[in-house]
Amino acid sequence: MVRLVTHNLLACHAKDCNTNNFPLVFQNVQLEIREAEFNSDFIRNFLPKIEWNALVKTAYELGDTSLPQDQPEMVDDEFLKNLHHVLFEIHIIEGGMVCPNCKHNYPISDGIPNMLLAEHEIA
């Protein structure tokens, strides 16, 4: 289950891949929408950790345009609901994530991304 909440925290960790290694770009993805329990406290707490531009860009790529381009100053319920949907309810089941810098492809199968590196990629 890759959700955008974790995707937003994920950077490439291959050897010597330290700049421009975030966010990983989704490719050939299969999505599934699963409802999740809404927890406004958690989202409010989580908000400072989110890299907003990356989240919006990825959400657009996945076809969800409910989020504004710029992070709003005011946090209202409608916004939190949309954010909840984007962060927790979009699951990526199959496909891959590609590092924008070193082009390493992390395949996703059955909702579990394979983050293993080959021997020469280990730092």
Partner 1 sequence: MSRPELVAPPEIYYGDTEAKKYTQNTRNQQIQADMTYRALELLSLPPGSPAFLLDIGCGSGLSGEILDEEGYTWVGVDIAPSMLEVALEREVEGDLFLQDIGQGLGFRPGSFDGAISISVLQWLLNAETSHPTSSPPHRLQRFFTTLHSALRNPSRAVFQFYPSSDDQIQLITSIAQKAGFGGGIVVDYPNSKKAKKVFLCLFVGGGGQQEVPKGLEGEEDDGRAMFERRRERERSRGKNGKRKSLKDKDWILKKKELYRKRGKEDIPRDSKYTGRKRKPVF
Q: Does 123 bind partner 1 (CB under 8 A)?
A: yes
Whether the ω angle into residue 107 lies within 30 degrees of 0, i.e. cis, is: no
- Give 120's contacts (C-beta < 8 A, 6+ positions apart): 15
Q: How far apart are CA 72 and CA 20, in angstroms?
A: 25
Compute φ and ψ for 32, nearest 5 degrees.
-145, 135
Site string for partner 1, 37-66 (x = CB under 8 A): --x-xx--xx--x-x---------------
Site string for partner 1, 13-42 (x = CB under 8 A): x--------x----------------x-xx
Can you tell me which of 12, 56, 59, 90 binds partner 1, judged by CB under 8 A? 12
Q: Does 9 bind partner 1 (CB under 8 A)?
A: yes
